[in-house]
Structure 1
Amino acid sequence: MKIHQSGYTLVELSVVVALAGMVVLGSIAGATSLLRQQTIKELSAQNGDAIQRITDVYAQLPSYDGLSLRQAVSFGAFNRFVITDRATDKVTVTHPLRGAVGVAPLNDAPALIWGLYMDAIPAELCADLLFHSAPIADALVVFPGGMGAPNGWTRNFTVNTNVPEIAISAGFSVAAPRIAKNLTQDLVPTALASACQDAGSNVGVLLLKSKLR
C-alpha cells in the first residue's frame, strides 16, 4: 500500500524562499532607484529656483561683483534649503543631501561668472545630477572627493572671454576639478562619464552662470 505525501519538499521550499527573496530585493532596488531619481529632480528644481532668483537680481547689472552667500539668502534664493544664521556673516546653507552650499563670483574683474557649489554629493548621484543640471547651468564642474570650503572653488580658475570658456590651472592640493560642460558647450555623455568616473565616494558639483553667453 502506497502512502501519498502532501505538501512541499525541502528543495521546493528553498526555491520558493529564494524566489521570494529575489522579488523583495528587486522591489527594494526599484524603490531605491525611484527615490534617488526623485531626490535629484527635487534638488535640481531647487537649484534652478536659486539660480533664477540670483540671475534676476543681477540681470541689469554689468557684473556679479559683491555676490555672497548671505546676499543670495537675502534674495530668497535658498528658501527650500536648510539655512542657519541667516542674517549674519556666518550664514550657512545645507542642500537636501546634507552637504554644504557655497555661492561666489569667479575671481576675475569684473566678475562675469558666478557659481553655486554643492559639497558631499554621493558619487553614485553625480551623473544624474549633472544631467539634470545641464539645462540650468552654463558650465558644470566636478570636484573629486568634494571640497571642505564651500567657496574654495574660486581658486585656480581662469576665463578666456574670447571663446568664452573656463580653464583650470595648476595648484590644487587635491585632485583637480573636472569640467563636464564648458560655457559654449552642451553636456555630452563622454564628458559626463569622465567627470564622474573614479571620483571617490562623494563629489562636489559646481554650477556656473555667466554674462558671457
Structure 2
Amino acid sequence: MKLNIDVIQTILAGFPHDLRQHSLNVCYLSLKLADYAGYAYEQKRTLIIGALLHDIGKSCIDESILNKPGKLTYNEFLIVKQHTILGVKMLEYFKESNEILPIILYHHERWDGKGYEGLAGENIPKLASIVTLADAFDAMTSYRPYQKPKTLTSALKQLNINKGTQFDPNLVVLFESCILDLTKRPYETSTGKFIDQLITNLY
C-alpha cells in the first residue's frame, strides 16, 4: 500500500478535531523551523508527512484519557506513552514509511536521554527533535482540558529553561528566532489550507 496524498488526507480527516488541528499546527511550525535552518527539499518532505502523522497512535487511545482534566495515573501515562509505538505499527506497512517512522517513534525523546525510548543528544534523529519542539510549543500555547494556554513569551521562556535537558539546545535558539520572526509578518490565512497546498505539492 502506498502512503499517498489520498491516504494522508483520509487519516487526517479521521482524527478528532483537536488532534487534527494540533497535527496541522505541529507540521506548520516544524516546516517553518526547517526552512529557517536551511533544510533541503527531501528532508522537508519527510518532515511534513512525519509531523502531520506524529500522533497517529493517539487515535487508538481512549479520548477520556487523552483529554483527562486532572493528572494521569501511572497506568494511564503508560497507555498514552504507547502512542509512539502504536503509530509505528500503523504506518510500517506503507512502502514510503521508513523515513518518517523515526519521527513517529522518537518525537518524545529528551536531550538528556530521559525520554520514551532513552535516546540522548545527537543520537536523536534531527527531524524528530524538530517535531519535539513544535509539539511542545503548540501544546503549551493551545487550550487543553488540563491546562490553560501559555503566552508566546511564556512558552518560549519554558523552552529555554529546558534547553539542553529536554530539548536540543541549538534547535531552541533557532526556533525562538524563527517564532519571533514569524510574529513580525502575516501568518498564512489558514493553517489548514497552507498544509493542504503543501500535501498537494508532495506528490
TM-score, with length taken from structure 1: 0.30
TM-score, with length taken from structure 2: 0.31
Higher percent of residues as helix:
2
Instruction: Report which of the two structures shows the higher radius of gyration computed on alpha carbons.
Output: 1
